[in-house]
Structure 1
Amino acid sequence: MSEAKIREKENQVFRVQGFSCAGCAKRFEQNVQQLDGVEEAKVNFGASKLTVVGHVDLQELEKAGSFEKLQIVPEKSKVDMRKKSLWEEHRTTIIAFLFLVAGYALQYTIGENHPVTVGAFIATILIGGFSLFRIGLKNLIHLQFDMKTLMTIAIIGAAIIGEWSEGAVVIILFAISEALEGYSMDKARKSISSLMDISPKTAIVRRNGMEETVSVDEIVLNDRMIVKPGQKIAMDGVIVKGHSSVNQAAITGESLPVEKKQDDEVFAGTLNGEGLLEVQVTKLVDDTTIAKMIHLVEEAQAEKAPSQAFVDVFAKYYTPAIILGAVLVALLPPLVAGASWSEWVYQGLAVLVVGCPCALVISTPVAIVTAIGNAAKQGVLIKGGIHLENAGKLKAIAFDKTGTLTKGIPAVTDYQPFVENQEAVFAKVTALENYSQHPLARAFIRKADEEGVDYRSFKIEDYSSIVGKGIQGRVDGEMYYIGNPALFIDKGLMDQDAALLGQIRQLQSQGKTAMLAGNSSAILALIAVADEVRPVSKRVIAKLKKLGIEKSIMLTGDSEAAANEIGKQVGVSEVAAGLLPEDKLEKMKQLRNQYDRVAMVGDGVNDAPALAAATTGIAMGGVGSDTALETADIALMGDDLEKLPYTISLSRKAMNIIKQNISFAIGIKVVALLLVVPGWLTLWIAIFADLGATLMVTLNALRLLRVKK
């Protein structure tokens, strides 16, 4: 059953602690699937979660995981799974290791064949390998050949031919290898588990005029939270009173706090600065932005990249091939060439050990979990291994213009007064615009507020809008007009002034909206408003070129002149202007045919067809946007375009590391297996090859934790 079908049905979700390897997770999944009342079970090894479709008892689940002594609790349980101490988790290995040390000490004092020496090695094998043999022998009976089956056969064989010391060493080194695998996955998981701990579990809520501290589970919609300076915000909501700076780094990866005032959104897990805030709750605890983000990241960790799918298929045929190869190595030389049975049975056992696929199995998931978790901490949500891999292979990126390469907010870019009292003119113009509902009017108000211009003291009378041309109104008893040149031609205030018309045309050629302001007797100022380019856009496009992106395309519905001017400012390699949504879709199809791997960067709401047609849909400003979180393959949680080069770079490094890991894991085994030809392969070399490969791929994958924006 697919992930989608599992989500459609009612299901139970549990958190699991104690997986030592990916194979153990798969075995647990199979055990749960066989339980009565279970329709389907899915283990997410990366997130250590189990999803069950149907009804199941917790005790039955614990029995299904008893082979690994797994700890299982419901996902929303208040019970925290206690972290085991080093002694609790590895005591049998530690005791077995002490017997191994004693065995080697006795070997050099009373001899290697002395019963006491052999007894020490046997104790090492039995104590250290008890859980291994319990699973390995069961697998052998059911003809299930995994790494524990291989190790069980190899150690029993070593004991039969009298290689007690080497069998004991193999047991200890295999335990170390499994511990390394568990450690590496735990380390990778911490990048997302740390996000789970950032939201407070309680909040101060004002009810019936009284303030009380309640659990976040008890908070309902429209409750009023009181957030004191220095406290974390417990729930998503809207500020109804107060003003403060809020550190949103946990969600967006932004290093600097963001100013928040009345009517602004705030998010659970973010840190309030110096002000006291009263926040009206808009989302329940399971629906907050951070909760959705964690859920989506955990789901993403279960989604396999194509490279991981290759490893799974390869491992399916690899293990039986190793067993067959080991049998042939053990039998053919003695039967065909009359070679020593003990020598070649030993070589066959060494083939089994070196063939253990620990390193290969962990090579991909540890890299994917690490990369996706690290990206989440940097404010980038990558919704699966396949999207991580696709982002690393992009050759072209298309950008929506408004709100992506530009700020998406009109701003006054040019103000040229034709009279001396220029501030007074701008104040009167803004006072008039303050009555307008047109989007461009906000540009005047923002500029006036930024520069401290007093426009609210003016009294406006006889205000009216002139459709398609502008607005008019009486300020301090005098009629003022603001609008396009056609308005002033109608009023008889503008003749064929070549210089003024030239200035207007020049501003329009730059993609700006040119307006005139005047009174009943003269034109007083020339003003231009435009959607400003983001300061980082040019830098981002340049970084993408350095990363090897062959083509950057800006898609917009704007006029060609305006689009070309913006394109020139940001440095994109192509501009496609005057496009309707269906035109953008067609353009994306053309780009895919030409470049194969193409991304579309937009706001996650508009241009949905183009985003869907892209190999990778990337949404800007995913924080607070359910649409962006649900529809995009990758969401840049903050409104920060500079996260795009980071995402491409991280994806490429992750794919390189996965390729290195797979190549190394297979290569080192091939080299070790070639030692069979001259008869040089030993159990020591075999286990060190496997342990060394596991250690190397683990450390290599954990390098992804160091990739920063």
Structure 2
Amino acid sequence: MSENISKKSVYRVQGFTCANCAAKFEQNVKALPKVQDARVNFGASKITVYGEASVQELEQAGAFEGLKVYPEKEQRAIESEPFWKRKSTITTVLSAIFLVAGWILGEEHPYSVVAFVLSIVIGGYALFVKGFKSLVRFNFNMNTLMTIAIIGAAAIGEWGEGATVVFLFAISEALERFSMDKARQSIRSLMNVAPKEAIIRRGDQEMLISVNDIDIGDIMIVKPGQKIAMDGRVVKGRSSVNQAAITGESVPVEKSPGDEVFAGTINEEGLLEVEITKRVEDTTISKIIHLVEEAQAEKAPSQAFVDRFAKYYTPAIMVMALGIAVIPPLFFGGEWGDWIYRGLALLVVGCPCALVISTPVSIVTAIGTAARNGVLIKGGIHLEETGSISVIAFDKTGTLTKGVPVVTDFVRLQGPAENELLAIAAAIEKWSQHPLASAIVRKADEVHVDLEAWKAEDFASITGKGAKAVVNGELYYIGSPRLFVDLQAIDSEVSSQIQRLQEQGKTVMLLGTERQIFALIAVADEVRQSSKEVIRKLHELGVQKTVMLTGDNLSTAKAIGEQVGIHEVKAELLPQHKLEAIKELKQMGKVAMVGDGVNDAPALASATVGIAMGGAGTDTALETADIALMADDLTKLPFTIKLSRNALKIIKQNITFSLVIKAIALLLIVPGWLTLWLAIFADMGATLIVTLNGLRLLRTKEE
């Protein structure tokens, strides 16, 4: 058995019409002799089978619904049969024709019963087959309730109402199928993003081959205007690439040798040669699709509540219906026909269709909308949690700032000219491993200093303070103010200039000799242009508190905090201190932590929701975070909060509306005001309203 259970197969399923049918299919597959377990993902139309089962056996298990099954890896176009050619559409139209004919003839006309019977048989045949099979197995689902109600209506002579119920139920099912198809389209559109073939150069030959046959290390040729078929690294050529499909970025990104490119993105103007770095199943787009589909299968808290409720609700409705139909005539002298009719009306209105679909349609739509906008939400639970976040904590470096230090101020005090001093500083720092050194070298490159003309000799690092080297025969020092305090006294004027720069959140380095200080160089990690606007939008959306958690010094952190408008700054923190800070913040409410997914792993894991920046190409971010912003772009955060809040609001609206409609309909039964056709109309209307309400999430956009 252990050998079989270790065998896991994933299949795509075509033909699901409702969540109940998906659950029934799952039960049937679990009952197969060599299957240990099976999990249906209704949102993604997939089934995962643990054990052994052939495609024929799986299709037999889904024969009650006419399901088609094929292996996940098999490339197959989605069968999209025109609406008017579908068997269900034809039977519904014929049922409607006979129903109208029956009503036109009038209930007193002898042939009206014939018309109603034909309407019931043609429109309800598939429903009755499912209903009887479920009834035999004591599986009381929607089909069972409807079958009993329609046959009961016919038995007490309410042929017209029975036929009306069949027709309205057929329309209700069609609407439910349409809505789930619409919600799933966002995932299907992702599947079609990357081409299925690519031009590969092997030796001197260029050939068009399937992406499944491409190996790591192959060279892919991508012409201007073509979609990139595989993940890889540019080895030749320059171009701008539109990465909107992966990261949601609207502006194309410049690519040159050494840069990463992703499958599904569009090469705009130049010819690129790309070395393949991942197989087709490991590309970023494949991982996104897999994670999004898995996310749809993970039940959100509200969906778990609905499932538990429906499990007890449906049998309870059947017992209540039986009680209403039998107790008043037996014990209180009520008319059998009247009370049986009321019991049947209760069966019809008791269908949990609207309630069952209220949550999944919202979650599938929201997760798909987020994915199309470059935000990967890894489950309904994270979507709901994000919707009720009250505190957001940010890492500083690489999140609120660009993570790349730059020279912000170069203050010449005395001695050689400014360019000459910059050349001396860059000549020394060229040999240093310190992160701030690269900022000085880049600054020298920007102003076109010829570093070949300035040679540093006898370079030595002074631990924790700076470095020294001989340039053009003179010994120079570069480093922190502490280094020059040891060498000489720093006068009050220079001290006040250093203090002023440090108060602005900048790191100050001094350049000079043992006797003189020639220049002050201020270096800072540049704040992202979008950070201030993002924090403002978050406060507008109702986030109660924003906090910066950083290992940087307090003055630098405070300066950046003030610049971006953040509420609170916690500085000089080690990773374990960030973890403690998150635990403290959780006492205020639900906390989101935004970081790069690597350095902040403990804090991301401890937060209610961990949000990683720049998930595209970063496996760690995709695996560890609950939500990944695929672009290195903080502006996606307010969109994510807004979408999650909208989704949470819509889910609550849908559940409340579904339950209220049921309660009102149940109250109407007591005075006998609820007719069969009104009961099905209420159920159909509720299903349609919660579905359309859920689909509103497709329209959520960035502001």
How far apart in 1 are the matches of 2:497 and 2:262? 46
SS in 2 for 1:157: helix
Q: 1:162 is matched by which residue type in structure 2?
A: G
How far apart in 2 are the matches of 1:8 and 1:624? 33
Q: 1:338 to 1:224 in 2, by over 3 A?
A: same
From 331, 339, 342, the equivalent of 2:334 is 339
Say if 2:156 is the partner of 1:156. no
Q: 2:652 is matched by which residue type in structure 1?
A: K
Task: State the 1:431 CA deviation.
Answer: 4.4
Task: State the 1:99 CA deviation.
Answer: 4.3
Aligned partner of 1:60 in structure 2 is 57
Aligned partner of 1:564 in structure 2 is 558
Aligned partner of 1:392 in structure 2 is 387
SS in 2 for 1:16: strand
Unaligned runs of 5+ in 2: none
Q: 1:96 to 1:540 in 2, by over 3 A?
A: closer
Deviations 1:34-54 (A, max 9, x none): 112111100000100000011
Q: Any conservation in 1 of the 2:83–2:89 contact (CA below 8 Å)?
A: no
Task: State the 1:680 CA deviation.
Answer: 0.9
How far apart in 1 are the matches of 2:254 and 2:600? 30
SS in 2 for 1:221: coil
Q: 1:401 to 1:24 in 2, by over 3 A?
A: same
Moved more, 146-155 or 417-426: 417-426
- 1:478-517 paired onto structure 2 within 5 Å: 480-488=476-484, 495-517=489-511
Q: 1:368 to 1:6 in 2, by over 3 A?
A: farther
Task: State the 1:497 CA deviation.
Answer: 2.1
SS in 2 for 1:440: helix
SS in 1 for 2:669: coil
Task: State the 1:93 CA deviation.
Answer: 4.0
Q: Any conservation in 2 of the 1:21–1:181 contact (CA below 8 Å)?
A: yes
Aligned partner of 1:439 in structure 2 is 435
SS in 2 for 1:675: helix
Aligned partner of 1:630 in structure 2 is 623
How far apart in 1 are the matches of 2:27 and 2:66? 16
Say if 2:250 is the partner of 1:279. no
SS in 2 for 1:240: strand
How far apart in 1 are the matches of 2:626 and 2:542? 21
How far apart in 2 are the matches of 1:307 and 1:314? 10
Moved more, 411-420 or 249-258: 411-420
From 261, 267, 275, the equivalent of 2:262 is 267
Aligned partner of 1:639 in structure 2 is 632
SS in 1 for 2:50: strand
Q: Any conservation in 2 of the 1:100–1:120 contact (CA below 8 Å)?
A: no
Q: Any conservation in 1 of the 2:5–2:36 contact (CA below 8 Å)?
A: no
How far apart in 2 are the matches of 1:204 and 1:519? 60
Aligned partner of 2:589 in structure 1 is 596
**Percent identity among equivalent residues?**
61
Say if 2:288 is the partner of 1:293. yes
Q: 1:173 to 1:496 in 2, by over 3 A?
A: same
SS in 1 for 2:548: strand
Q: Any conservation in 1 of the 2:419–2:449 contact (CA below 8 Å)?
A: no
- 1:336-375 paired onto structure 2 within 5 Å: 336-375=331-370
Say if 2:110 is the partner of 1:119. no
From 1, 22, 25, the equivalent of 1:25 is 22
Q: 1:226 to 1:472 in 2, by over 3 A?
A: farther
Say if 2:680 is the partner of 1:680. no
Q: 2:365 is matched by which residue type in structure 1?
A: T
SS in 1 for 2:435: coil
Moved more, 352-361 or 510-519: 510-519
Aligned partner of 1:82 in structure 2 is 79
Aligned partner of 1:617 in structure 2 is 610
SS in 1 for 2:611: strand
Task: State the 1:422 CA deviation.
Answer: 2.8
Aligned partner of 1:573 in structure 2 is 567
From 386, 392, 411, the equivalent of 1:416 is 411
Say if 2:245 is the partner of 1:247. no
Q: 1:628 is matched by which residue type in structure 2?
A: A
Q: Any conservation in 2 of the 1:379–1:637 contact (CA below 8 Å)?
A: yes
Q: Any conservation in 1 of the 2:406–2:524 contact (CA below 8 Å)?
A: yes
How far apart in 2 are the matches of 1:269 and 1:695? 35
Q: 1:96 to 1:554 in 2, by over 3 A?
A: closer
Moved more, 516-525 or 158-167: 516-525
Q: 2:133 is matched by which residue type in structure 1?
A: K
Task: State the 1:197 CA deviation.
Answer: 0.5
Q: Any conservation in 2 of the 1:398–1:600 contact (CA below 8 Å)?
A: yes
Aligned partner of 2:10 in structure 1 is 13
Q: 1:164 is matched by which residue type in structure 2?
A: W
Say if 2:29 is the partner of 1:35. no
Q: 1:272 to 1:432 in 2, by over 3 A?
A: farther
Aligned partner of 1:548 in structure 2 is 542
Deviations 1:294-343 (A, max 9, x none): 10010000111111011011111111111122122222332333232222
From 225, 232, 240, the equivalent of 2:227 is 232
Given the two structures, how large is their TM-score scaled by the length of structure 2? 0.95
Q: Any conservation in 2 of the 1:251–1:623 contact (CA below 8 Å)?
A: yes
Q: 2:443 is matched by which residue type in structure 1?
A: K
Q: Any conservation in 1 of the 2:217–2:275 contact (CA below 8 Å)?
A: yes
Q: 1:696 to 1:273 in 2, by over 3 A?
A: same
Q: Any conservation in 1 of the 2:432–2:461 contact (CA below 8 Å)?
A: no
SS in 2 for 1:42: strand
SS in 1 for 2:520: strand
Q: 1:563 is matched by which residue type in structure 2?
A: A
How far apart in 1 are the matches of 2:4 and 2:469? 59
Q: Any conservation in 1 of the 2:595–2:611 contact (CA below 8 Å)?
A: yes
Q: Any conservation in 2 of the 1:392–1:652 contact (CA below 8 Å)?
A: yes
Aligned partner of 2:104 in structure 1 is 108
Task: State the 1:33 CA deviation.
Answer: 0.4
Task: State the 1:487 CA deviation.
Answer: 4.7
How far apart in 2 are the matches of 1:490 and 1:312? 72
Q: 2:642 is matched by which residue type in structure 1?
A: S
Task: State the 1:601 CA deviation.
Answer: 1.3
How far apart in 1 are the matches of 2:596 and 2:102? 71
Aligned partner of 2:662 in structure 1 is 669
Deviations 1:274-310 (A, max 9, x none): 1221111111111111111110010000111111011
SS in 2 for 1:154: helix
SS in 1 for 2:337: helix
Q: 1:550 to 1:8 in 2, by over 3 A?
A: farther
Deviations 1:201-249 (A, max 9, x none): 1111121132222111111111111111111111111111222111111
SS in 1 for 2:657: helix
Q: 2:643 is matched by which residue type in structure 1?
A: L
Task: State the 1:463 CA deviation.
Answer: 5.2
Task: State the 1:585 CA deviation.
Answer: 1.6
Q: 1:332 to 1:504 in 2, by over 3 A?
A: same
CA RMSD of aligned residues (A): 2.2
Aligned partner of 1:178 in structure 2 is 173
Aligned partner of 1:697 in structure 2 is 690
Task: State the 1:708 CA deviation.
Answer: 1.2
Q: Any conservation in 1 of the 2:219–2:276 contact (CA below 8 Å)?
A: yes
How far apart in 1 are the matches of 2:28 and 2:5? 23
- 1:461-480 paired onto structure 2 within 5 Å: 461-462=456-457, 464-468=459-463, 469-473=465-469, 480=476
Q: Any conservation in 2 of the 1:247–1:257 contact (CA below 8 Å)?
A: yes
How far apart in 2 are the matches of 1:93 and 1:127? 11
Unaligned runs of 5+ in 1: none
From 41, 44, 53, the equivalent of 2:41 is 44
Task: State the 1:103 CA deviation.
Answer: 4.3
Q: Any conservation in 1 of the 2:423–2:454 contact (CA below 8 Å)?
A: no
Q: 2:101 is matched by which residue type in structure 1?
A: A
Moved more, 6-15 or 127-136: 6-15
